[in-house]
Chain A
Amino acid sequence: MSQRDRVSAAAWLVVRNAHTAEDIFQNVALKAMTKGVQFESVGALMSWAFITARREGIDWLRRQKNAPICLDNTILELLEQEWAGEAAAGDIRGQALRDCLEDLPSKSRDLLKRRYFDGHACEAVAEQLGARLDAIYKRLSRLHQALKKCIETKLEQPAG
């Protein structure tokens, strides 16, 4: 997972909208550039980026009507720490995920697209696809697990 993907993912956990998460990442990057902040290590920079992204996300939520309930700050911090502590081979993981997505059947990709790119709630997706809501959750759950496993398998394969 690249640093960009991780910061965007952390923002997504707060706002649950991929486009807003991308906007937040851009703002964080812009702040890093314009404020001229210097960091002694990757850890320090990542820590600052996660906190800034979280604050931006919470600010964005406050401006929304019917915003989802945000996770407790302590949980978000825990998740961010785990992200920051992951191995540096993040870019390889990001590419592996992209490769795994390409290998998915078109129906599965369509489901993910509707949910995460189009930003539809699961109820709307169920309605669009003429499926029951429970079935959508099950399919999404299995898809996420399958992608996670696919990444791990790809990372275990020797580079060639």
Chain B
Amino acid sequence: MTLSEEQNELLLRHLNGQLGPDEEAKVADLLRGNAGARAFLRAVAEQAVVVADVERINQHKPQPVKVVTPVFRPWKWAVAAAAAFVLMAAFVIATTPPRHAAKVSAILGPCQYIAADGKVRDEVKVGTVLRVGDTIRTRSSSAWVKLDLNGGSLMTIAGRSRLRLLNVDGRRGFQLAYGNLWATVAQSAGARPVSIQTPTATVETKVAQFDVETHSMTSIVRVNSGTANVVRLADGQAVDVVADHQAVVSARRSRPFAVARQPEPVNAWNCSMLAGQGAVFGKILPPTAEGRSRLGAIPLLIGKKTTIYVANFSVQCSGSPPVLIEGGSRVRIRGTTRTDSPVYFGITTQRIKGGFFGKYSAEIGAGALGQAGEPWQIEVPLSKFKPKTENVPDLPIGMELTDIWVFSPEESAELEIHRVEFLPREVGQ
């Protein structure tokens, strides 16, 4: 409702405090019934305090020396600024929902950061802070990212993994869509529990050291210290996984869901192509005429204009006990390639009943593979593997084998893997 100039002036006279009772009654009626009058009065009040504010600031700007009446005292301005800050802080505290963040503390290999607003960055740097809604993914078998969750809690994802920060009430929420995660959730004042959602399970803990390997149909949770509550999403069943125990969580209700003690480590492992469960990345191919089962490497885009062809084999997913890496351990792989180009073998390692340790790889030159198209069998001693970073020992002796990967940079190589074995040191070594 618009006001006449007379009505505006009436309100200004009221503010000047010179109206008699009859005119004050008119003002009251006007303000009760006219939103425009109230808007004008509010505008005048706002302008009055801002005019005073601006003038105060001007008086404290450097000016030519002159004698002025000190209307405003400097200490008062300081108090005003502090008070404004306190009130604004109170607003922020009152209105900001409690959210969590994770800072990238170390990184290796190709990674991608997808912000909550959809912005994508193909280069992630140490110090990048992930907030609720942000996603980080490690794009190749040899990549990993370490995250600092504050309060002494740490998390690592490695290999082909995708992690997103979720907004979960009263929890520091994460979604592990696929891949491997190691977490140490420390007890600290005010820290909220950690909740990790996978395609098949929810894992929650206040204090624990644990790892999760997840794929579309299965998640494996191993707890090394503390306790984690694990819920199977297929039916809502929940179990507490205590230290030195593990749980396998399937998307199928018919599969058993129980807590079991982690088996004792062994020093040998082989991944049966026929069983298929250990082959977590690649394409199962029809058996050869000789009945050999095969896994074909499949393309993995690891960066702009960079594709490699990868097959990946997981110890845990194969159902094997933990595999201990010894001095003299060997990796033996049988397969075929169609070109004279090198292939690369890699292993992921972690501490026995502990967190992520490191990645190691070895280049197998074309000369060692024999004639193109003919099956080869390569045995690589542990000593030939090189660490992917400088800050880990040359050899991962005493660590646990997490997975083995094989890749070729060439599509035309048509890399196929027929058998993967991790062998103990030879007798007499």
Interface residues of A (CB under 8 A from B): 1-10, 12-13, 16, 18-19, 21-22, 25-26, 28-30, 32-33, 38-42, 44-45, 49, 68-69, 71-72, 74-75, 78-79, 82-83, 94, 97-98, 101, 112-113, 115-118, 121-123, 137-138, 140-141, 144-145, 147-148
Contacts and interface: CB of A to CB of B under 8 A. Distances in A.
A5 B28 contact: no
Contact of B86 (A2, A18, A32, A78): A32
Interface string B26-58: 011001100100111111111111111111100
Interface string B15-35: 111110000100110011001
Contact of B72 (A5, A16, A19, A82): A19
12 contacts: A2-B88, A3-B91, A39-B90, A69-B17, A79-B31, A82-B35, A97-B47, A117-B55, A122-B18, A123-B18, A137-B9, A138-B5
B32 A19 contact: no
Contacts, number: 159
A83 B329 CA distance: 74
B8 A97 contact: no
A83 B83 contact: no
Contacts of A9: 42, 45-46, 48-49
A55 B48 CA distance: 20
B52 A117 contact: yes
A50 B283 CA distance: 67
A30 B79 CA distance: 10
A74 B45 CA distance: 18
B87 A79 contact: no
A79 B32 CA distance: 10
A101 B5 contact: no
B12 interface: yes
Interface residues of B, number: 49
Interface of B: 5, 8-9, 12-13, 15-19, 24, 27-28, 31-32, 35, 38-56, 71-72, 76, 79-80, 83-84, 86-88, 90-91, 94-95
B87 A117 contact: no
A22 B42 contact: no
A113 B42 CA distance: 18
Given A40-B94, A82-B39, 8 more contacts: A82-B42, A94-B50, A97-B47, A97-B50, A116-B52, A122-B13, A138-B5, A148-B40
B54 A22 contact: no
B42 A33 contact: no
A22 B28 contact: no
Given A97-B46, A112-B47, A140 B83 contact: no
Contacts of B48: 9, 12, 18, 115-116
A144 B12 CA distance: 10
Contacts of B24: 69
A81 to B, nearest CB: 10
A19 to B, nearest CB: 7
A45 B91 contact: yes
A82 B328 CA distance: 78
Contacts of A69: 17, 19, 24
A42 B95 contact: yes
